[in-house]
Amino acid sequence: MRGTSAIVGIGESTYYKAGAATESEFQLTCTAIRRAAEDAGISVKDIDGFVSYANDRNIPTRLATALGVRELRFSGLAWDGGGNGVAGALAVADAAVTAGYANYVVCYRGLAQGQFGRFGQARERGRMRAEGHEAFRIPFGVVAPATWYAIIARRFMYEHGITENSLAEIALVSYDNAQRNPRAVRYGRPLTKEEY
């Protein structure tokens, strides 16, 4: 065991609104990984591990081939996490590096909504399996962490007298932050409380 790991590079692709991406989901993922390697000062060929979350379609073996990775030594998927898949993927990558399974592990998530349906959206409910705890969610369209926690948040609002108006502040701050990020979808289009 080596004992430590570090985030050494960050990469992202262009952000698009749902259905507006001009590249495939796979191409967007490869672009982000190339940019992360460049930011880290390493060659993409030196990457030897991949970790994603939530059933990412961009599988590590395909990514490794497309990017020219010399040797794929580790791959993993943080499956659920209840909206915490990013942190789960980072934990798996940290474990892989710390244990010596790989040297450079990329945490990624490729997503181009509109190319494969909307992430977290219920589709064809009659054909989705609903066993165990899923039987209490899937038939009602509660299929993603945002909808799971919306129910809890609504109850919290009720019990503590929190209004929709209070929640507006969260959205307004998010839109305000987007004005400082030229890559944000809403960059250059601030939101007022009246518009919200």
Mean pLDDT of 57-84: 90
Residue 177: band (very low, low, confident or very high) from pLDDT cuts 50, 70, 90: very high
pLDDT exceeds 80 at position 120: no
pLDDT tens-place string over residues 29-56: 999 999 999 999 999 999 999 999 877 7
The pLDDT value given to residue 122:
53
Report yes or no on 6 lying in a domain. yes
**Gyration radius from the chain CA atoms:** 19
- Round to whole Å and give the CA distance between 94 and 106: 10
- State the Cα–Cα distance between residues 146 and 37, nearest whole angstrom: 31
Task: Tell me what the mean pLDDT of segment 98-102 comes to.
Answer: 96
- Mean pLDDT, the chain, integer: 87
Say if residue 4 is in the same domain as residue 89: yes
> Are 25 and 108 members of one domain?
yes
Does residue 118 have a pLDDT over 70?
no
Domain assignment of residue 191, yes or no: no
Residue of higher predicted confidence among 152 and 1: 152
Domain co-membership, 95 together with 163: no
Q: What share of the chain is helix, strand, coil (3-state, %, to 5)?
A: 45, 5, 50
Answer yes or no: is pLDDT of 136 > 60.
yes
Whether the predicted pLDDT of 153 surpasses 80: yes
Contact of 103 with 12, CB cutoff 8 Å: no
What is the 3 state secondary structure string of 16-43? CCCCCCCCCHHHHHHHHHHHHHHHHCCC
The answer to whether residues 80 and 164 belong to one domain is: no
In this prediction the pTM is: 0.74
Is 19 in the same domain as 93? Answer: yes
For residue 102, the domain's CATH number is 3.40.47.10
Domain residues for the domain of 165 are 125-178
**Domain match, 82 and 165 both:** no
Domain identity same for 104 and 166: no
Average pLDDT of the residues in 157-164: 93
